[in-house]
Amino acid sequence: MAVRIEDLIDIQDVRQARDKNSPNIIPQDTFRHIEPLAKELGFLETHLLKAQDIATGRWVRLKCRYGCAKYNTSWCCPPAAPNLQMTRDILSEYELAILLVSENTNEHFYRNSGVKRRIQIKQWKSTVALERKLFLMGYYKAFGLPADTCALCKECAYPKQCKFPNEKRPTLEACGIDVFQTVKDLGQSTGLVRKIQDCFYSYSLILLA
Ligand code: SF4
174-194, pLDDT tens digit by residue? 999 999 999 999 887 766 666
Interval 19-39 mean pLDDT: 66
| pLDDT above 80 (res 28) | no
* Cβ–ligand 1 contact at 162 (below 6 Å): yes
13 in Cβ contact with 53 (< 8 Å): no
CA pair distance 208, 185, nearest whole angstrom: 19
What sign does the dihedral 178-183-187-188 (CA atoms) show? negative
* CA–centroid distance, residue 8 to ligand 1 (Å): 34
CB 146 within 8 A of CB 124: yes
Distance 167 CA to ligand 1 centre (A): 8
- Find the 70 Cα to ligand 1 centroid distance in Å: 12
The domain locations on the chain are: 5-207
The residue whose CA is least distant from atom 3 of ligand 1 is 162
Is residue 107 within 8 Å of residue 197, measured between CB atoms?
A: yes
Compute the distance from residue 57 Cα to the ligand 1 centre, in Å. 25
Residue 159 in contact with ligand 1 by CB distance below 6 A: no
d(CA 206, CA 117): 21
pLDDT of residue 105: 75
- Ligand 1 close to Cβ of residue 163 (< 6 A): yes
Nearest-CA residue for atom 8 of ligand 1: 156
The whole-number average pLDDT for the span 41-66 is 95
Closest CA to 170 of 52, 116, 59, 91: 91
Residue 205's H or E segment, with its range, is strand 200-207
**Cα 16 to middle of ligand 1, angstroms:** 40
Give the distance from CA 174 to its chain's centroid: 11
Angstrom distance (rounded) from CA 21 to CA 24:
9
The confidence band for 166, taking pLDDT boundaries of 50, 70 and 90, is: very high
d(CA 93, CA 101): 23
> Measured from the CB, is residue 174 less than 6 Å from ligand 1?
no
Q: How far apart are CA 52 and CA 15, in angstroms?
A: 14
Q: What's residue 23's pLDDT?
A: 39
For 32, the enclosing helix (H) or strand (E) is helix 30-40
Q: Which residues contact 112 (CB under 8 A, 6 or more apart)?
A: none
The percent of residues above 90 in pLDDT, for the chain, comes to: 64
Distance from C-alpha of 208 to C-alpha of 49, rounded to nearest angstrom: 10
Residue nearest to atom 7 of ligand 1 (CA): 156
Half-sphere exposure of 91 toward its Cβ, with a 13 Å CA cutoff? 23
Ligand 1 pocket test: pick from 121, 148, 150 the residue with the most ligand atoms within 8 Å of its Cβ: 150
pTM here?
Answer: 0.83
DSSP 8-state class, residue 111:
S
Q: Is 153 in the pocket of ligand 1 (CB under 6 A)?
A: yes
Reduced to 3 states, what is the DSSP secondary structure of residue 174? helix
pLDDT at 145: 98
> How far apart (Å, rounded) are the C-alpha atoms in residues 144 and 208?
9
Per-residue pLDDT, 103: 86
